[in-house]
Every structure is written in C-alpha cells, then in structure tokens.
Amino acid sequence: MTRSMTGFGRAQQTVDGRDITVEIKSVNHRYFEFSARVPRAYGYLEDKLKSYLQSSISRGKVEVGVTMVTVEGTGADVEINQALAQGYIDALRQLGQATGLKDDLTLTSISRFSDIFAVHKTSEDEDAVWEAVRQVVDQAVAKFVAMRQTEGARLKADVEGRLDTIEAYVGQVEQLAPQTVENYRKRLYDKMAEVLADSRVDEQRILTEAAIFAERIAVDEETVRLRSHLAQFRGILQQSEPVGRKLDFLVQEINRETNTIGSKAQDLQVAKIVVEIKAEIEKIREQIQNLE
C-alpha cells in the first residue's frame, strides 16, 4: 500500500511497573534519518529503537520520544541502618531519664530520622526494559503506519487523477500529429514554390525534403514511450513496497519525453498541450516527494 512519509503515532501503557509513553513522528526526507529522546538512564534504547523502526520505515525524517516513570513502590530497595536507629532510641531514652520526660517513643517518631533509611535503585535488566518499551513502540508504530497509509491513499488518488489528465493530453497530441506533419509539408512546398517561381518546381524533391523533415518533427515514438511510462507509473503505485524513489526516477522520464515532444512539434496547439502536461508533471512531482 502506498504510504506517505508524514505520520504520527502515540501510545501509553504500564508494563512491568513502568508507565511508558512513546511518540513517533516523521516528515519528508530523501533517506531514513533517525533521532530519539529517551531518559538519560536508558540511553542504550536509542540504537535498539533505530534498528527496530527501520524494519517498518524506509524513508523520512523520524523522531521518537520515550518517557518512563517508575510506578510508586517499584524499582527501588530500602535499606535500614538498624545500628543507627538503635543509637537514636538509646539516646532519646537517656534524654528522657535525664529530664524526667515521659518515654513515648513509637515507630512513627523514630521514622522521622531519615538518615536511618538508605534507598537504592534496583538494578534493571536492559533486555527486560527493552521488551517493555517494545510493546508500547509496537502500538505507536501501528498508529503511525495507519496515518501514513491514509495520507498515502490520498496522494495516490490525486496522482492517478493527474496521470489520467496527462494521458488525455497525449491523446490530443496523437490526434494532432498527422495534421501537424501535413501542415508542415504544405508550408515547405508553398515556400519552395514561391522561391522557385521563375523556375520549374521539382515536386518530387520537395516531397522528399518534406518527408525528411516530417520524420524529424514526428512524435509517434515519444507518445508511445510516454504512454508506457504512464502505465508503469500506475503499476508501481499498486505495489506494497516503498515506491517513492522509483516514481521519482520515472517522473523524470515522463518529463523528458514531454520536453522532446515540445521541441519537435511545429504546432502551436501541441505546444500549448505540452505546457499543460508539464504543469501536471510538476504537481505529480510535488506529491510523490511525500511518498515513502
């Protein structure tokens, strides 16, 4: 299916105690260009994301953003310094005895001494983290690709309509071509007859010269090749693989044949048609620059 290079996809899910959000967006680019924003502690994810996304995206400037928040109560170990805690308890009781104050020590009151607790972040398995992130990436990619396909279908429909328009113009050129050659032959005959008015006109020579020059201005081969290119263009649009580069090359060939027709044809009507064809070609070129 034809896909645009413009797309966006976002997904959010809690996996293995991590609240993970992934955003993927892309714009036009001749090749695959990748950049990522990931939490500093998870920098190793960048290369994994790039390799993974290249299997789904062949062209475009792709930006990926990943955020991860550890769900409360996970991802850390709490260590208690029991000796220090006991020291606080003993000191407080000694103070109570010295001052005559009531001993009302509780667990809650002791917990206010924060230095008796040490919080250590749990070491994480990189493969496990990537597997969690990958699940969310898959959801974001699905939305991203769906948007690219929707936009690609719109571009494809527009291009196919313009191909029909060009083909209709080619038909007009083919209809005008025989008369163009005949008009040219007549103009040449009349001109030579005028120049040789005082001499005997060698009609056969004029006809021969006219035939030679008529061959030079005939556009039959160009229109045949042009129709072939248009048919090939339609065929490529139906392919499921990325088609942008193929179409970029083919549109150059279509433009080349059109230019040749314009330079060979000695007819004002044909010249006007060529201008219209080239206008359609430029619009097609703009559209296929957005295709993957």
Are 252 and 203 part of one and the same domain? yes
Return the residue matching tokens 């413009």.
6
CATH code, domain carrying 40: 3.30.230.40
Q: Are residues 18 and 110 in the same domain?
A: no
Q: Are 108 and 196 found together in one domain?
A: no
Structure tokens at 283: 């619009």
Provide the pLDDT confidence category of residue 238 given band limits of 50, 70 and 90: very high
pLDDT in tens, 202-223: 666 666 766 666 666 678 889 9
The answer as to whether 2 is a domain residue is no
Residue range 25-40, pLDDT digits in tens: 999 998 999 999 998 8
CA distances from 22 to 133, 136, 142, 285 (A): 8, 7, 12, 33
Number of domains comprising the chain: 3
Contacts of 113 (CB under 8 A, 6+ apart): 84, 85, 88
Report if residue 1 sits inside a domain. no
Q: Residue 31 domain-assigned? A: yes
Do 163 and 220 have their domain in common?
Answer: yes
- Considering the domain architecture, whether residues 46 and 142 belong to the same structural domain is answered as yes
Looking at the fold, whether 133 and 211 belong to one and the same domain comes out as: no
- What's the Cα-to-Cα distance from 245 to each of 242, 248, 280, rounded to whole Å? 8, 5, 19
pLDDT tens digits, 163-179: 999 999 999 998 887 77
Residue 160 sits in the same domain as residue 247: yes
Q: How do 32-37 and 60-70 pair as beta strands? A: parallel
Once rounded to an integer, what is the mean pLDDT over residues 258-278? 89
Please tell me whether residues 157 and 175 are part of one structural domain: yes
Q: Which domain holds residue 83?
A: 76-121
Q: Is the pLDDT of residue 95 over 90?
A: no
133 part of a folded domain? yes
pLDDT of residue 176: 84
Are residues 238 and 164 both part of a single domain? yes
Residue 275 contacts residue 261 (beta carbons within 8 Å): no
